[in-house]
Structure formats: structure tokens, C-alpha cells
Chain A
Amino acid sequence: MLHGYGPAILGGLWATLGVAAASLALACVFGLLGAVAKLSGVRALRWAAEVYTTLIRGLPELVLMLAIFYGGQTLLNSLAERHGWALIEIPPLAAGVGTIGFIFGAYLTETFRGAILAIPRGQAEAALACGMRRGQVLRRIVLPQMVRHAIPGFANNWLVMVKATALVSIIGLDDMVHRANLASAATREPFTFYMLIAGLYLAITTVSILALSRLEKRFSLGVRAVTF
């Protein structure tokens, strides 16, 4: 039925999951940095973070991917030439991960910022009163509590990101959609293969939703639920 392209599609599934996971890690880093910057006392940092989130959220993901992918490599090339470095070539996979991570870092900035703001101010104040330094307050008091508040937004962003990874096939990455493209062209049965990968994406979504709801329950242990 799949004309032997089953393993190729599964290989693509693996690539998609890899890109999504790696992008998530990078997005978390950007998101945390962005959130801390947006809430910091330094105006320049707040401004930079604001520009970052506004820019990313004001443009389509596809356009951002194309711009960062092509523009990024050109920028690196011109930097390398000007300083006489050896030319760095970014492998397409890394470029895709970097791009998606950078883009979703902006969305996660907003999520993490909202989550940090949801923590009662008294927590940070008490920590400072106990003599902790700002860095310690962040690491030991704010971040652990932020996780619980961030999970719904985080879950939502993860689901959107998984679907956005489908777009990396347009910048030439060898992911599930690209494999389906090749298989459809070879077998002339696009419906079969595109429905197959739709099903695989749905499976990823379902597993993610189940796992994330368990995570939410785990992190909400000890928090009394609101009853109406």
C-alpha cells in the first residue's frame, strides 16, 4: 500500500520529532532570557526583548523562517569574510532548529513572563528579606514556581511548534513532509502519503496532550483547585 516508502516516512517522523525537541530546548532558553529581560530593571534589556517579541509575533512563521534561513547564512558569510574567518556552513538541520527555536522563543517569552507575574510578589520579597541575592531568588524561588503557571501556555506553544516544524520542509529540510513529497512524486499517490503524515502528526499531538496534562497534574500537587 505504501509502495515501500513506509520506512522513509518513519525516518521523516524521527527527523520531525528531533527538530521539534531540539527547537523546544532552544526556545526555552530564548524564552527564559527574554522573560527575564522583559521584567528586568534595565530599560535597554526591556526594549530589546520588546522588539524581539513584537517582531516575531508580527510576522508569519514561514516568512521568518525564510528570512532567518537565507539572511542568517548571508550575514554569517559576510561576517566571516570581513574578519577573515574560515567560512562556517550551517547544516540545514541546525539552521531549521535555530530558526524555529528563535521564533518560538518569542512566544515562550510571553508565556514565561505571564507565569512569573502570576507568582505572588510576597514570595520574592520574603526571599530577599531572608538575605538571598537576586540570582538566588530567581533560581530557587521564582523559576520552580513559574513552571506550574507556565505549563498551559507551554503546552500550547509546543503543540503549535510541532505543527510549525512542517514548514521546515519548505526551506529544504528532510523532514516528514519532505519525505511525503518525495514518496508522492514517485508513486503518484499524494493522498495516501499526506493523509499518512497527517495521521502521524495527530498521533504526536494526542500523545503530547496526554503527557502534558499529566505533567500539569504533577506540578499542581498540593495546590487547591478552585471550586465554583
Chain B
Amino acid sequence: MHPTRRRFTTLLSTLLATAAATLLPNATWAQAPDWAKVRVGVEGNYPPFSKLGTDGKLSGFDIDIALAVCARIRAECTLVQQEWDGMMPALGAKKFDMIVASMTITDERRKAAEFSDPYYDVPSRWVARAGAFKDHSPASFKGRKIIVLRNSPRAKHVAEQYKDSEVLLVNKETDVYLELAAGRGDIGFGSSVVSSEAFLKRPEGKGFAQVGATVRLNGGGGGVGIAFRKTDTALRDKVNAALKAIKADGTYKKLADTYFDFDVSGGQ
């Protein structure tokens, strides 16, 4: 073979082999209708419910609940980390079978997914520079910029109640505090637990404080639940039974007590 052609052929075959190797799907997932194997979508960036350690291991309340439920339904669970922004699309694309990522149950979300019974419910908190605002009424925040997670019940609450304020929508909850610390907004509106764990208790949260009392939002039943595809009602029912079981036998309380010194179940 002509030397240039040989070189060309070798180069081309190597490139094609590389392409083939990366493109061939590596795992075919035979769907077990009896749900012996379940993949669970988690966020990994919502402390203390979900965090990714420097060793690459996922931990947190959401993770513990997911594993406890899986043990109850006798399924082999794989945790799949997913950015919050793409959580629902990933569920739809069957990257996992259920979402355990502190997803609040809302009517809008119910249009696209099925939810389990709520597994915790904590109030929301307004955070701003200490002493900047005396309360969190719409009048106090008139003309200011509120930072809140997009497509969430909190965002809806802000859009409805705080019409005189500017709104900055971010893609994940931790960005609320990031943008607040960077001075890109005046007030942040987020989960009471996460704002405390991920921000107020940390060095970057120095000089910031809660504004007014914590707020409980309603709508869609309230609380956070586990999300499923609309077709997977069987799995949803199994998980509901498991949730009832772990609450009844004290597993839930044991897990919650390792993270919180107050009641997160929201009376459910």
C-alpha cells in the first residue's frame, strides 16, 4: 500500500475506532416491571439534604431516605447525581426512575410527574444583609431585587406577592446565596434549612441574617415528595407504602434526628 495512503488509513481507522468506542452505549437497561432495580436521581448540592463529599460520595437526609425506602421495597438502588436544572427532563429521559431531591410537590409539577406522599416539609426563609430590612412585606422590598430558584413554588410566591420588586431567577438553590453574597440581589428567598446550612452558618454568610419570620407556603399539598414518571404508578405506590412503614417504625425519626433538632416531617 502506498505509504501516505497507509498513514491516512491508519489515522482514519484510529479516529473511527475512538468514535465507535465512545458512542456504543455501554449499558442496556432491561426494565424490570417488578422494580427489583431502581435508579434514584439525587442532586448532591443541597446541604444538609444532599451533598457530594470531596471523596465523591453522596450523603445527606435525601440520600438516607432514598436508601431506607429502597431497603423497604427490597430493590437494588443506584444513586445517580443530576444537576437540579435538568432533574425533571432526566426523569423523563429515563436516566433514573425516581427523584429524591427535596422536590416540592406543586400543581404545575403534578402535570408532568407523579408524586409520593410528602416526606418532609420545612418553611422558607428570607435572607438579606443584617438589619437591611425590617420585615419581609412587599412594601419593604419595593424596588429591590429578590433572588429565588426558578420554576419553584417560592418563585411563584414572589411573582404573585412581590410585584413591585425585581426578580433574579437562578438555576439551583445554592446559587441564590452565591448571587446574594456577590451583591447581585438584595434579598434571597430559599429553604430555611438550606439557607442556614449552606450560607448563614458559613463564613460567606457573615453579615447576613434572616428577615422577618419564616414563611410556610401552600399549594399542591405542600411538602417535598419523591417524583415518578406518570406511567410508574406501581412504583409510586410501593414507595408510599415504604414511607408509611419507615415513619411508623421509627426509622424516619432516627434519620431525621441525625440532621435536625426540630421536626421536619411537617406533621405528615
Contact = CB atoms under 8 A, between A and B. Distances in A.
Interface of A: 18, 21-22, 24-26, 28-29, 70, 73-74, 77, 86-91, 93-94, 97-98, 101, 144, 147, 171-172, 185, 188
A214 to B, nearest CB: 14
Contacts of A21: 15, 18
A94 B23 contact: yes
A133 B12 CA distance: 23
Given A73-B94, A90-B25, A91-B26, A25 B18 contact: yes
Contact of B94 (A24, A28, A89, A147): A89
Interface string B1-42: 000110010001001101100111111111100000000000
Contacts of A91: 25-27
B252 to A, nearest CB: 31
Nearest to B2: A144
Nearest to B174: A185
Contact of B82 (A70, A86, A172): A172
Dominant SS among interface residues on chain A: helix
A70 B92 CA distance: 9
Contacts of A172: 82-83, 86
Contacts of B94: 73, 77, 87, 89
Given A70-B93, A73-B94, 5 more contacts: A22-B18, A22-B22, A74-B92, A89-B27, A144-B4
A188 B86 CA distance: 24
Interface of B: 4-5, 8, 12, 15-16, 18-19, 22-31, 82-83, 86, 89, 92-95, 174, 178, 204
Nearest to A143: B8
Looking at B22, B25, B30, B204, the one whose CB has the most chain A CB atoms below 10 A away is B22
A29 B16 CA distance: 8
Nearest to A186: B54
Contacts of B28: 86-89
Contacts of A171: 86
A26 B26 CA distance: 18
A188 B19 CA distance: 37
Contacts of B15: 21, 24-25, 28
Contact of B29 (A26, A29, A86, A185): A86
A97 B93 contact: no
Contacts of A188: 204
Contacts of A185: 174, 178
Nearest to A140: B5
A35 B31 CA distance: 40
Given A91-B25, A97-B19, A101-B19, A86 B86 contact: no
23 contacts: A18-B22, A22-B19, A25-B18, A25-B19, A26-B23, A28-B12, A70-B89, A73-B94, A86-B30, A86-B31, A88-B25, A89-B94, A89-B95, A90-B25, A91-B25, A93-B22, A94-B24, A98-B23, A101-B19, A144-B4, A171-B86, A172-B83, A188-B204
Contacts of B24: 94
Nearest to A4: B54
Contacts of B5: 144
A71 B254 CA distance: 42
Contacts of A25: 15-16, 18-19
A25 B20 CA distance: 9
Given A29-B16, A101-B19, A74 B26 contact: no
Looking at A18, A26, A77, A144, the one whose CB has the most chain B CB atoms below 10 A away is A26
Looking at B83, B94, B178, the one whose CB has the most chain A CB atoms below 10 A away is B94
A73 B19 contact: no
Contacts of B26: 91, 94
10 tightest A-B contacts by CB? A25-B15, A73-B93, A25-B19, A86-B28, A86-B30, A87-B29, A26-B19, A22-B22, A88-B25, A94-B23
A74 B92 CA distance: 7
B9 to A, nearest CB: 11
Contacts of B204: 188
Given A21-B15, A87-B30, A172-B83, A97 B95 contact: no
Contacts of B174: 185
Contacts of B16: 25, 29
A46 to B, nearest CB: 25
A222 B174 CA distance: 61
B194 to A, nearest CB: 15
A97 B92 contact: no
Given A28-B15, A70-B89, A74-B92, A94 B22 contact: yes
